[in-house]
Structure 1
Amino acid sequence: MALSPEMQKSVDVCLNCYKTCLGMAMNHCLENGGEHVAPAHFRLMMACAEICRTSAHFMLISSPHHKHTCRECAEICAECAKDCERLDGMEECVAACRACAESCSAMAA
């Protein structure tokens, strides 16, 4: 069964956020240190990356549970965007998280 165009777009947005958060955490944050690697911030980025990957996975396998993972994903992405906003050089992560929060909110509805 093919995914609807809306769901396929949400999968793409989730996978982009996963890639962006993981890449920023492992490169930008680790290299900058300080607040960028504060435990709460770094854990939030890892949680965000993982829930994005999980939500994409649940949509790809057409699990009816995707609404639950997407709801949680939207919440974590919104929190991650807000936290990243206060740090230098995190604009790409903020944008990816906001887009994913919006997309996942729609999928959770």
Structure 2
Amino acid sequence: MHNQNQALLQALNDCVAACEHCATACLQESHVQMMARCIALDRDCADVCALTARLLARGSEHARHLMRECAEICKACGDECAQHQHQHCQECAAACRRCEEACRAAA
């Protein structure tokens, strides 16, 4: 597989893991209601990144189109997570930013 695709796949998979971890950790916070948007975006972002990674890995003609959507959801999720002081949110925001940049560069 092409090195650029390897780096993009790594960013996508890292983002999936960070978003899944963040959503799970947010559910354990004392004010979980305040984390509802963060949790929802984490879940959406993880799903879109996972699908993008699968399409990219199989060489789908639709991967490039999905990368644009992936960059958009990564930006939204990263922006939301960055507003929270929890370590898991900050780590997720950073992973989302890296994935957003990688998807924009590849799209």
Matched, 1:88 2:95: no
Residues 7-56 of structure 1 show CA distances to partners (whole Å, capped at 9, x for unaligned) of 11100110010011011101x201112312x2x33221111000110111
Deviations 1:46-102 (A, max 9, x none): 110001101110110011211111110000001100011111211100100000000
TM-score, with normalisation over the residues of structure 2? 0.91
The aligned residue for residue 44 of structure 2 is 47
> What is the alpha-carbon root mean square deviation over aligned residues?
1.0
Q: Which residue of 2 aligns with 1:4?
A: 2
Q: How many residues align?
A: 103
Question: TM-score, normalization: structure 1?
Answer: 0.90
Match of 1:30 in 2: 27
Q: Say if 1:17 and 1:93, in contact at 8 Å, map to a contact too.
A: yes
In structure 2, stretches of 5+ residues that fail to align are none
How many percent of aligned residue pairs carry the same amino acid? 34
Matching residue of 1:106: 105
Q: Distance in 2 between matches of 1:52 and 1:82?
A: 16
Alpha-carbon distance in structure 2 between the residues aligned to 1:74 and 1:13: 11
For residue 43 of structure 2, what is the amino acid of its counterpart? M
Aligned-partner Cα distance in 2 for 1:71–1:93? 19
Aligned residue for 1:41, secondary structure, equals helix
For the 8 Å contact 1:35–1:87, the answer to whether it is kept is: no
Structure 1 regions of 5+ residues with no counterpart? none
Aligned partner letter, 2:95: A
